[in-house]
Structure 1
Amino acid sequence: MKIRKNKTFQKAIHNKSVVIGTIMVLAVILIALLAPFLSPYDLDLMNMENALQPPSGEHLFGTDQYGRDLMTRIFYGARISLIVGFVSVFFSMVIGVLVGLIAGYYGGWIDNLIGRIIDVFLSFPVLLLAIALVAVLGGGTVSVIISLCLVSWTQYARVVRSSVLVIREEEYVLAARTFGASNFRILFKYVIPNALAPIIVVATLGIGTAIVSEATLSFMGLGVQPPTPSWGYALSFGLRYMRTAAHMATIPGLAIMFTVLGFNLLGNGIRDITDPRMVN
């Protein structure tokens, strides 16, 4: 096991996608955590005389329509994006993994029933379903997280189910069952650890998707509500000033792109180093 872990680590540090993605993700996380120390101004400090100022030495990212420092708003907005991304993916993963384990391990009518439920969820466009759920639940961070959980768990359920269908037929699982191991022990000692790699890949890529979804909902006015800083809302409002203050839309857009690209690179890299079909 130790040799395998060291081999995986060696593959990770030599994988450009993993290295670059990790650096980008860690940079965004550090900015979010250290926002109060890195931000030169108060979050909601308004100065109408400095409204719509372009990037300068005093305001590196410029100012918004209320004269607030845009860099400060972007740094604090990273917190909202990461909270929505990590929390929604965590709960989606918990729900999806449990459902996938039950469907794949027990099979039969249980698998068929869960499969039909998943098909129903997948029959709706993800974003459209999220918009409908947010409209019912109302705007706000919590509503966005709940909505994304309800539309994203199916990805984990399908991946886990596929993995479990193979793992449950392995010799070590059959041996454990022969020696009287309970289903609970088999699932959590043998099945889940061996299905962990694809779960991690889907979760890493899912964080980037959740960040884009949150930004999209906020862009439409259905997500995080002002005055809470949100990259999607900042981008939406900035589009009104594209001709006179292009930085208001460009900078939030670049923040979203940088963060999502980082998670996608990391997820693709993890997929490459954990895929047994890759050449060692």
Structure 2
Amino acid sequence: MPDGNDPQQAVAPTGAGGSTDLAMGEAETLERPPGRGPDGGDTGKPRSLWSDAWRELRRNPVFIVSALLILFLVVISLWPQLIVSTNPLSCDLGKSQQGREPGHPFGYDTQGCDVYARTVYGARASVTVGVCATLGVALLGGLIGGLAGFFGGWADALLSRAADIFFGIPVILGGLVFLSVVTSTTVWPVVGFIVLLGWPQIARIARGAVITAKENDYVQAARALGASNRRMLLRHVAPNAVAPVIVVATIALGTYIALEATLSFLGVGLRPPTVSWGIDISNAASQIRNAPHMLLWPAGALSITVLAFIMLGDAVRDALDPKLR
């Protein structure tokens, strides 16, 4: 009969590459509490952070409301023809600053353009800038911060000092200088500028999360068992360090939309013929006494959009941080 104290039988052979798989399995067992079945009993299956977060999000009314608002914004950004049939660039000076009328519930602006059509079409530029800038910032900042935190040493010092340099550039002043020399009327110069100045924030968050994750026991066990840096980074460290990056990026998305509107208001962001809430707010600012409807609708749409993304980010943060539950 096998002896329970025999060390050769205490550990089963794992085969080629099995040692690191064993370390990862132990890490998942340590990190994830047992799941619960429909009757509240222990199912024996480990629960991940993401499954717990999704369960919390589904119960959070703030997440549901913000997600529905964002879904609506995305739909009208892709297919604005679903709720408006007027061309936002078709204007009639004879109707300049007129109020609402049948088929035009928001009235007309100074150029005689339909404010309702411009408000709907303006969502496309704002959502495009926000989503693309957030993806760029998260990828660039997450990559730089993750590598700096994982390898440390001179790479950490070099990348951290580079982030400090970009942190020292005022965003509005940088936008006035950088975008004033750009003649393109597309959204990509604005996206590039936001990514250029926005990645240091994500890089710091990613660096701190990676430094914390790589000190965990399961990472040290994988290192001792001979796992390569690439395997440890992709299989053990990155999955456990990505949550703070997602939270900060989600909240920052609303900030980037507001930043685009601010730069367009100042005349250095998006430019005509691009339809943008910032451009419409800038044009309506001088006519607020004569035609307040010109300012009310694009400003209200911008505020609701920014609020929806910030609410979504707060809900995701509460779901991914067990300390806040």
Give CA deviations for 1:27-84 in whole Å, capped at 9, x if unaligned: 2112212202321212321222222121333211111122221111111110000111
Gaps of 5+ in 2: 1-31, 33-45
**Is 1:56 aligned to 2:106, yes or no?**
no
Match 2:296 to one of 238, 242, 250: 250
In 2, are the aligned partners of 1:55 and 1:247 still within 8 Å (CA)? Answer: no
Q: Partners in 2 of 1:113 and 1:158 — Cα distance?
A: 13
Are 2:66 and 1:34 equivalent residues in the alignment?
no
Corresponding residue for residue 111 of structure 2 = 66
User: Which stretch has the larger CA shift, 185-194 or 255-264?
Assistant: 185-194
Q: Is the 8 A contact 2:54 2:319 kept in 1?
A: no
Measured in 1, the distance between the counterparts of 2:264 and 2:230 equals 41
Q: Deviations over 1:109-149 (max 9, x none)?
A: 22112121111111222222233221244453221111101
* 1:151 aligned counterpart, secondary structure: helix
User: Residues of 2 paired with 1:21 and 1:60: CA distance?
Assistant: 25
Gapped runs of 5+ residues in structure 1?
none
Q: Calculate percent identity across the aligned residue pairs.
A: 36
Which entry has the higher C-alpha Rg, 1 or 2? 2
1:142 matches 2:188? yes
In 1, Cα distance between equivalents of 2:137 and 2:58? 29
- Tell me the matched-pair count: 279
Give the Cα separation in 2 of the matches to 1:3 and 1:220.
Answer: 49
Distance 2:202 2:192 in 1: 16
SS of residue matched to 1:277: helix
Question: Take 1:86 and 1:142, find their aligned partners in 2: how far apart are those partners?
Answer: 12
Please tell me whether residue 172 in structure 1 is matched to residue 247 in structure 2.
no
Say yes or no: does 1:182 pair with 2:182.
Answer: no
**Aligned counterpart in structure 1 of residue 149 of structure 2, from 104, 124, 129:** 104
Q: 2:306 aligns with which of 260, 269, 277?
A: 260
How far, CA to CA, are the matches of 1:267 and 1:104 in structure 2? 24
TM-score by length of 2: 0.82
Task: Output aligned runs, 1:206-217, within 5 Å.
Answer: 206-217=252-263
C-alpha change, 1:184 and 1:131, in structure 2 (3 Å) is: farther
1:126 aligns with one of 142, 158, 171: 171
Amino acid at match of 1:269: A
Structure 1 residue 261 displacement after superposition: 0.0
Work out the CA distance in 1 between the residues paired with 2:83 and 2:103. Answer: 14
Greater RCO, 1 or 2 (C-alpha within 8 Å, sep 6+): 1
Distance in 2, Cα, partners of 1:215 & 1:206:
14
Partner residue, 1:277: 323
* Alignment TM-score, normalising by the size of structure 1: 0.94
How many Å separate the matches in 2 of 1:124 and 1:199?
A: 22
Report runs of 4+ in structure 1 exceeding 4 Å deviation.
Answer: none
* Offset at residue 184 of structure 1 (A): 1.7
Tell me if structure 2 keeps the 8 A contact 1:138–1:222: no
RMSD: 1.6
